[in-house]
Structure 1
Amino acid sequence: MLAEDRTRLQKIDALYALRLDQFVSLPQLVVVGDQSSGKSSVLEGLTGLPFPRDSGLCTRFPTQIVFKRSTSESKVVSIMAIHGQNKSRADAIAKFGKRPLTSFDERDFSELLAEASECMGITLVGKQENSDLNSFSHNILKFELSGPEYENFSVVDLPGIFRKPTPGQTRKEDIPLVREMISKYLSNPRSIILAVVPANVDIATQEIIQMAEDADPNGQRTLGVLTKPDLVDRGAEQKVMELLENRDGRTHFDLGYTIVCNRSQSDLSISNQERNARETTFFNSQPWSAIPKERAGIKALKHRLDKLLVEVTRQNFQAVAVDVQVRIHDLEKELNDLGPARQTPNDQRNHLTRIAVEFRDISTKAIDAHYNRDPCFREDVFRLATNVMAMNTAFSDTIELKGCTRKFRQSSSSAAAIQHDKKVENAPDDLDSSSAESLKTPGSPDSKSNDYFRDYRELKSLTGQSKAEPRRGNTSIMRWIKENHERSKGFEVGTIHPSLLPSLFLEQSRGWEYFARQHVEAVIRTIHMFNHKALFYCGKDALLSQRLWSRLSQLLLPKYRRALDHVSFLVQVEQDGHPMTMNHYFADNLRKAREDRIRLQLIGLQSWTTNDVQKEPLLRLKDTIATFVSNDGQSAEDLHDILEAYYKVARKRFVDAVCLQAVDHFLISNKQGPLWLFSPQYIGNMTDTELNEIAGEGNEAVSRRRRLMEEIESLKAGQKILAE
């Protein structure tokens, strides 16, 4: 073996001693099989250790046997404890220590295994039924043998698969536990699987073969080990030969199969040398002598495994170093996310203040749309300015399309132009009809937000209480205006009753409050979700963040209510007061509406000259006079134009007021608003009791911090070993 390979194997073994196999995939040889597969005999042949065949002790936990070339001889046994055990168990394992292996006598060996089992918390044989202790353990019993006669080699033996519990030894609930343990080792992509199966059974019935194929579907890292060839029925040897030659169509492993001869019952007392000699004699007999020498016998298997272990270690050594580095980085980030230890009020206040400062920074960036300055903005929920502006736009579109109870008459210059271009002889018959179709605007509060934010139950009492969407009027606007004009006539001559316009506007704008509340409620849910997500993003610790959110979420409700109350105020201003505007846009709209109406009335009266090459439309004076309407008709027309002109001005004013005041002022920009509640000042006003209730570390957090620190320490020790 090359010195470089020997060094690599020793370093990997040192990583196992640190139990880094719990965190990264390490190169290894894993021996697996049924309890009756002859696995213990294979292991004894490979290692020379007298594993008991009847007590079951050696199969209650993973067992690692490590050989090292050394100028001095040493034989020691120890327990490699898994991380995260309770203190009493860890202390018992530590007390077991690293002790010399003074005897290979089977009885002494069994006593050693029994003591190790007790330290691991495994119940003794015969006491399973009346014990609360485990029958199996993930702790590893390690045998380390050093000397000049050894080559560097290591192998891990796992508990055998069983299908029925044995009274006094195993329980029914142990069956899936053992399978889970085996699957975990087999799934390591850097392990070589030694699947031990008896040669005298149908290999297709062996569960371990199926488990190996599941873990290694391409068959690239599985070596089949056939045992008990002396029990193969006469005439069935050919099937075994086909397996050894990898010609069996049912299973195929790139590494193929090797066959070994187990000790018979009468051979249990003989030495390893005698055992090897009898095996050689057996494979020199017919028909077994036809097997290639490199695939028959325990020595051939050992030689094969030496090469495989060196190869898998050589191929994966650098990848292990990379995995260790990545794992350290991930755990350090997880530890950093926990923040500093929080045992005192000062520690707790400092930690919460740090979270509040980070939360303020995220909120400011979200309001200013500086999305390239933090990874959280990859999620749309954090893009607050963009989301609110999209909802403002949808709200404006919704009010424009659906805000009026009755659709105004289409009498614009564009309509007249269309009629003129088409050379329609008369004006449209139904200028007063309204569309009953309700248009949906993508992204509007009522089409998206309710479903998206339905999980925040604390908002139930505040939002989602709006009445049903107002229904559109079922009569044309001109008929409705004329009816109201008729019903409101007084003794005035040639004028409109002063109370008529306010009442018409009130009816025409009665849907505003519904749509405005829907919009502001949607913005509230957006901000509420932003606060929630940002708090958990900055807080890192889910338990701490949830405690803090439980307090903040209730304090946010009055701030949301102020915005909704302001919507009601804005509606009251528009609908309960006098129609009023200083905006010249009203006069422009009114003039334009009257011009369009007259133009539309006259467009159907046009005739064409025929005595000229250039045709021109002509109007006859007597026709224009005939188009004038009665006083009542003229009043209705004027009412329509005034109402439409004022409605447009008021609608734009109302939309701006809702977006600027209810949304931006009360919900976003105001320093007393919901986005500014969680702040260092808020933390500074907390009592020590409140600080401890929110930021105090529970036993789970303390244990998690300790576990992370232990794992990082072990990984850094492993990193140092790999770098030497």
Structure 2
Amino acid sequence: MTSLDALQTEDMRKIMDVVDELRRAGVGSVLQLPQLVVCGDQSYGKSSVSEAITEIPFPRKENLCTRFATEIILRQSRSESISTKIIPDKSRPLNELKKLKSFKKTISSFEDLPILMDEATKLMGLGDDIRSGSLRAFSRNVLSIEICGPGRTQLTLVDLPGLIHSANKNQSKKDVDFVRSLVHEYIGNQRTIILAVVSAKNDYANQIILKKARDFDQNGSRTLGLITKSDFLDADSENELSWIEPAQNKDIYFELGWHILKNRSEKDSHKSFEERNRSEELFFSKCRHKELVPNHVGIVSLRARLSTLLHRHLKQELPQLQKELDEKYKQTTQDLQQLGDPRSTLRDQKRFLMKLGANYKQIVDAAMDGHYETPCFGHIHAVEQPVEHPNNLKRVRAVIQHLNLQFARQMAQYGSKYKIIEDTKEAKNIMLEDLPKVRVEEHYAQQAKFQISMKRTEAIKWVQGVLERTRGQELPGNFNPSLISELFQDLSSPWKDLAIAHIIRIDDILKKVATDLLEYLSTPDISFRLQGKMKRDMAKRMERALAELEKIDEDRHRHPITYNGHYTLTIQKQRNKRNATKIQTLAEKRTTQTLWSKQTNSYVHSIDSIAFAQGFESEYMEYDMDKFSAEDAFNCQLAYYKDELKYFVGVVTKQVIERCLIHSLAGETLSQEIIGDMTAEDIKLVAEEPEETTCKREYLEGRKYTLENDQNTFRSALGIVQ
């Protein structure tokens, strides 16, 4: 094996040690490891190339090494040993898997290799008589040959079955497809260096492997073309010349280039590797191949190229390997966490639910209090998304505050049955006087289409009509106190429906949040089982909320009561405002003289006070007692409506939303107290782990254990201190 020293720079040895250690640790079952793969068309010299590179004398028995993938592992060791094992195809039946895994043989000499390989071949179900049809022609199992000894090079090489051009009496269409699938699997690995073997005996345009290499390595960045059987070309012939161009990488371009070899023929199979190498060197020194770059010809220079190639390739791939390993470990850990703690016993199940209840209450309480530090609340989403957008719903307090403010604004603008407009050019909405001018979201503004618009004069007539139908024993010019109640009931009639719509909207959001948090904190099966109970509990809370609203609405129908000083102040402001308007209008009519004042440097308007007083009495004195009473009642009604509106919004948001829907949400839907009161049967029904979950947990725990060992192996091989 000293002829493999070309692959043995110190840096290269260290990197190969790392990959070899990873392969021994089984990382290859988790990640795609870098490897050299020899592939080509059937009977085109693949095994001879592998034999020349590794200097391992493969048995020459027909249909042996080419019917399954053969993995050759070379390792440094103090003692000489040759061992084999079968890496079974995972899709095989369980009894066959056990039988194949049990195959582990060790020999002391290459002379015993044919016997050992023959035994492995039969164990795979691949007999000599393929034509009988009773035995498989090819296998997806892998025969692994490990060769250890002092001075051995750390190297792994895979020799694949040859690609078959077409079916024949010995190889069916199924065999053709099988081999192609196997080759695709190996060369499709982005960390595989493809050693594409082509034979000089045939036109390279007809050799399947070149197309396959292009299909899986379009840029040719990981393919090295190997030309074999060059000694079959007649010296100085056109045929020999036609192979010079690909060897010079001029026709079919590979980034790694091409290399040309002379393999041992059948009659030379008894010769040693030293004799083979001398024969090859002598051959290339006499033919036109001497025109090629020297390090692109012969097995010795090929090993040097492979050394550089492997060193560069592995050095580039190792960091990415470690990154992928860490990502797989992270994902496996997350998948395990998603399954939650094991729930095989009643004690485990109750502990699981108690922990779930504690976590649920903690997050729900934080959401209600407006503390959004925990990861489940996510990042603040773009401001162009509505506050109540699904991405923001878990921030419950912010959403509730936003919707309550919108509800208050909706009630101010659209809560009254009538939209009463002042009889002026500005046409102001009287119902919005003394209320803030705000923008209402489209969802709430839909109520605008249900409002009935009327001018102030029409409103006075409406009040007058009601007044005539509510007369009692009051003197003319006064109104029955029940008139205010009648007017208020009519004007505030939309309140209950608007409040119900708002309460339903809040309840829907709380249901969605509770369900989302349950799914976030638990597993899909637990979440599904608990959602039924949670929905029933939420429905009870909604019933209480609607019952509370019903009481508030009943209060709205009772005799008007208020002790708010703003009620009388509002009436006085309305009267003063209307009187001021009358006075200003009359003053403009009764202006008698306009003089320039030098002292004030402006015009001074003088008014005849007697004429002004007479005019005020004649123009604004109301002799219609019903109209006078109606206008006075209208002003009182507006003041009372605005006072009650603020009260109604307050009690709906506090007594209904806060008390009935928000307060104790976690405690009444999923808490440790609720779980503590559950029977053993209920706990088992909710928290018992399905069989598929148990199997998945076992798989993930095994995978996590393997990945942890792989990570330790990686760090140890790279000399990283944890």
**Shorter-chain TM-score: which interval?**
0.7 to 0.9
Change (3 A) 1:164 1:368: farther
CA offsets 1:103-126 (integer angstroms, 9 cap, x no match): 66897466345356459xx9x967
Distance 1:307 1:177 in 2: 30
Residues 325/624 of structure 1: CA separation in 2 closer, same or farther (3 Å cut): same
- Separation in structure 2 between the aligned mates of residue 591 and residue 86 of structure 1, nearest angstrom: 95
1:704 aligns with 2:696: yes
- Structure 2 CA distance for partners of 1:513 and 1:147, relative to 1, 3 Å: same
**2:578 match:** 597
| Partner SS, residue 343 of structure 2 | coil
Counterpart of 1:192 in structure 2 is 193
Could you say which residue in structure 1 is the equivalent of 2:672? 680
Q: Distance in 2 between matches of 1:220 and 1:365?
A: 55
Q: State the Cα distance separating 1:660 from its structure 2 match.
A: 1.0
Which among 373, 380, 398 is matched to residue 392 of structure 2? Answer: 380
Report 1:468-483 matches (<5 A): 471-476=450-455, 478-483=457-462
Match of 1:486 in 2: 465
Q: Bigger radius of gyration, 1 or 2? A: 2
Q: CA deviation at 1:325?
A: 5.2
Q: Distance in 1 between matches of 2:510 and 2:547?
A: 17
Which residue matches 2:382?
none
Q: State the alpha-carbon separation in 2 of the partners of residues 569 and 118 from structure 1.
A: 84
1:535 maps to 518
Give CA-to-partner distance per residue, 1:413-465, whole Å, 9 cap, x none: xxxxxxxxxxxxxx538567999xxx983485799xxxxxxxxxxxxxxxxxx
Is the contact between residue 390 and residue 443 of structure 1 (CA under 8 Å) also seen in structure 2?
Answer: no
Worse-superposed segment, 488-497 or 642-651: 488-497
Hey, what's the Cα distance between the residues in 2 that align with 1:690 and 1:473?
A: 56
Q: Is the 8 A contact 1:67 1:154 kept in 2?
A: yes
Q: CA deviation at 1:477?
A: 5.6
Whether the 8 Å CA contact 2:39–2:162 is kept in 1: the answer is yes
| 2:174 paired residue number | 170
The letter of the residue matching 1:646 is: Y
Deviations 1:267-311 (A, max 9, x none): 696667476566556544544332222222344333322332234
Name the amino acid aligned to 1:289: K
Question: d(CA) in 1 for partners of 2:334 and 2:315?
Answer: 30
Q: 1:694 aligns with which of 686, 693, 697?
A: 686
Q: CA deviation at 1:344?
A: 0.8
Q: CA deviation at 1:633?
A: 3.8
Partner of 2:548: 566
1:362 corresponding residue in structure 2: 363
Distance 2:187 2:510 in 1: 47
* 1:207-242 residue CA offsets vs partner (Å, 9 max, x unmatched): 42333435xx5x554434445657889647667544
Q: CA deviation at 1:649?
A: 1.7
Q: Kindly tell me: are residues 597 and 63 of structure 1, through their superposed partners in 2, closer, same or farther at Cα, counting changes over 3 Å?
A: farther
Task: Provide the secondary structure at the position in 2 that maps to 1:372.
Answer: coil
- 1:159-238 equivalence runs, <5 A: 168=172, 170=174, 178=182, 181-182=185-186, 185-186=189-190, 188=191, 191-196=192-197, 200-202=203-205, 206-213=210-217, 220-227=221-228, 235=238
* Aligned-partner Cα distance in 1 for 2:57–2:413: 87
- 1:627 pairs, out of 614, 620, 625, with 620
Q: Distance in 2 between matches of 1:701 and 1:71?
A: 47
CA distance in 2, matches of 1:163, 1:402: 81
- 1:614 alignment partner in structure 2: 602
Contact 1:33 1:208 in 2 (8 A): no
Extract unaligned runs of 5+ from structure 2. Answer: 1-7, 380-390, 433-437, 718-722
CA, structure 1 residues 505+176, in 2 after alignment: closer, same or farther (shift >3 Å)? farther
CA distance in 2 between partners of 1:627 and 1:231 (Å): 127
- Residues 46-90 of structure 1 show CA distances to partners (whole Å, capped at 9, x for unaligned) of 343638897587565x54321123342211112446899986565
1:363-407 per-residue CA deviation (whole Å, 9 max, x = no partner) reads 121122222244544363321111111111121122222222222
Counterpart of 1:562, as a letter, is: R
How far is 1:349 from its partner? 0.7
Between 377-386 and 205-214, the greater mean CA deviation after superposition: 205-214
| Segment of structure 1 superposing worse, 385-394 or 529-538 | 529-538
Rounded Cα–Cα distance in structure 1 between residues aligned with 2:480 and 2:225: 103
What's the secondary structure of 1:185's corresponding residue? coil
Matches of 1:597 and 1:711 in 2, distance apart? 83
Instruction: Write the deviation string for residues 551-597 of structure 1: whole angstroms up to 9, x where unpaired.
Output: 433443222333234334433432x3223322222222222222223
Specify the code of the residue in structure 1 equivalent to 2:425.
P
Secondary structure at 2:468 match in 1: coil
* Letter of the structure 2 residue corresponding to residue 340 of structure 1: D
Q: What letter is aligned with 1:50?
A: F
- AA at the equivalent of 2:149: G
Q: How many residues were matched structurally? A: 666
TM superposition shift of 1:320: 4.6
Equivalent position of 2:640 in the other structure: 646
Q: Is the 8 A contact 1:125 1:168 kept in 2?
A: no
Superposition pairs of residues 277-356 of structure 1, within 5 angstroms? 279-280=280-281, 283-284=284-285, 286-317=287-318, 320=321, 324=325, 327-356=328-357
Structure-2 change in CA distance of 1:446 and 1:701 (3 Å): farther
Identity %: 23
Matches within 5 A, 1:234-245: 235=238, 240-245=243-248
Summarize the Cα distance change of 1:506–1:357 in structure 2 as closer, same or farther, 3 Å threshold. Answer: same
Structure 1 position 515 matched with structure 2 position 522 = no
Equivalent position SS for 2:102? helix
Instruction: Verify: 1:29 aligned to 2:36, yes or no.
Output: yes
Q: Any residues of structure 2 matched to 1:58-457 within 5 Å, and which?
A: 58=66, 60=68, 63-80=70-87, 88=95, 91-97=98-104, 99-100=106-107, 108=115, 111-115=118-122, 117=124, 137=140, 140-148=142-150, 150-157=152-159, 168=172, 170=174, 178=182, 181-182=185-186, 185-186=189-190, 188=191, 191-196=192-197, 200-202=203-205, 206-213=210-217, 220-227=221-228, 235=238, 240-248=243-251, 251-253=253-255, 255-261=256-262, 273=273, 279-280=280-281, 283-284=284-285, 286-317=287-318, 320=321, 324=325, 327-374=328-375, 376-378=377-379, 380-410=392-422, 428=425, 430=427, 441-442=440-441
2:559 alignment partner, one of 578, 581, 598: 578
Deviation at 1:346, TM superposition (A): 0.5
Q: CA RMSD in A?
A: 4.4
Q: 1-side partners of 2:82 and 2:374: how far apart? A: 59
Aligned with residue 723 of structure 1, among 691, 716, 719: 716
- Provide structure 1 residue ranges, at least 5 long, that are not aligned to the other structure: 412-426, 448-467
For 2:137 and 2:100, the matched residues in 1 are separated by 15
Q: TM-score, normalised by structure 2?
A: 0.78
Following superposition, the deviation at residue 348 of structure 1 comes to 1.0
After superposing the two structures, state which structure 1 stretch, 498-507 or 229-238, moved more.
Answer: 229-238
CA contact (8 A) 1:34 1:208 kept: no
Separation in 2, partners of 1:364, 1:203: 72
Residues 550 and 165 of structure 1: is their aligned pair in 2 closer, same or farther, counting only changes over 3 Å? farther
3-state DSSP of counterpart to 2:344: coil
Conserved 8 A contact 1:193-1:212: no
Alpha-carbon distance in structure 2 between the residues aligned to 1:175 and 1:552: 57
Tell me by how many angstroms 1:655 deviates: 1.4
Q: Answer whether contact 2:130 2:137 (CA < 8 A) is retained.
A: no
CA distance in 1, matches of 2:277, 2:670: 77
Decide whether aligned partners of structure 1 residues 381 and 257 sit closer, same or farther in structure 2, where only a CA change above 3 A counts. Answer: farther
More divergent stretch after superposition (79-88 vs 374-383): 79-88
Contact 2:66-2:162 at 8 Å conserved across structures: no
Q: Deviations over 1:602-655 (max 9, x none)?
A: 444443662134346677334433134444443443343223222222221111
Q: Over residues 5-56 of structure 1, what are the superposed CA-to-partner deviations in whole Å (9 max), with x where a residue is unaligned?
A: 4344234223212321343454433445566876455434434363889758
Q: Deviations over 1:675-717 (max 9, x none)?
A: 6421112222233333233322223222222223323333333
Aligned partner of 2:58 in structure 1 is 50
Contact 1:28 1:155 in 2 (8 A): yes
- On the 8 A contact 1:469/1:514 being kept in 2, the answer is no
Cα contact 1:559–1:674 (8 A) shared by 2: no
